[in-house]
Amino acid sequence: MDNMEKAENEMYQAAVELVKTRYPRGWGGAAAVRTESGKILTSIAPDTKNDALSLCMEVGAYLEAHRLNEQVTHSLCLFRNSENEEFLILSPCGVCQERLVHWGGDVKAAVTTSENKLVFRTLRELMPHHWSLVNGQAL
C-alpha cells in the first residue's frame, strides 16, 4: 500500500469511527475530508425536523476546511443502513461537487462502485464538461 492509499484508508476509517460513535445503532452516515496539510476533518448531516433544511454529510467538513484556511485534497462520504450492514461509499452529489470546485479540479472524491471498493476520482474526471469552460477556464 502506498502513502496515498494509506491516507485514503485513514479517511475511510475516520468516517467509519464517527458513524460508530454518533450512530451506534440503526442508520448512520458520515464524511471525511483530507486537507493538503494532512488533516482529516469529519462531519455528519445535521438532524432536522424539516428535510428542506437538511445539508449533505460533507458540508460541515468543507466549512471547517474554509475556517482553517486549508486546501481540500480528498472528500469521502459513506453510510450504512444498520449497525449489522456494511458501509457503502456515496459519490458526492452535484452540489457538493460544485462546493469542491473551490479547491480546483484535482480534488479527489470517493465514488460509488458496484464492488463497493474505495476508489477516488478527480473532479475533472467527474465533471469533464464543467460549466467553467464557458468562461474560458478549464476546471
Domain spans, the chain? 3-135
3-135: in CATH 3.10.105.10: no
Report how far apart, in Å, the C-alpha atoms of 83 and of each of 59, 62, 79, 118 are: 24, 26, 10, 20
Q: What is the pLDDT of residue 27?
A: 97
| Secondary structure of residue 123 in the 3-state scheme | helix
pTM for the whole structure: 0.93
Closest CA to 99 of 51, 135, 62, 45: 62
For residues 14 and 48, the model is more confident at 14
Q: What is the pLDDT of residue 139?
A: 86
Tell me the HSE value of 66 on the side-chain side, using a 13 A CA sphere: 10
Q: Is 53 exposed, middle or buried (0-12, 13-18, 19+ CB in 10 A)?
A: exposed
Phi/psi for 33 (5° steps) reads: -125, 135
Which residues are registered as beta bridge partners of 90? 77
Report the C-alpha gap between 51 and 66 in whole angstroms. 25
Q: Are 108 and 122 spatial neighbours (Cβ–Cβ below 8 Å)?
A: yes
For residues 135 and 85, the model is more confident at 85
Each residue's pLDDT tens digit, 43-80: 999 989 998 889 999 999 999 999 999 999 999 999 99
| 48-53-59 Cα angle (round to 5) | 90
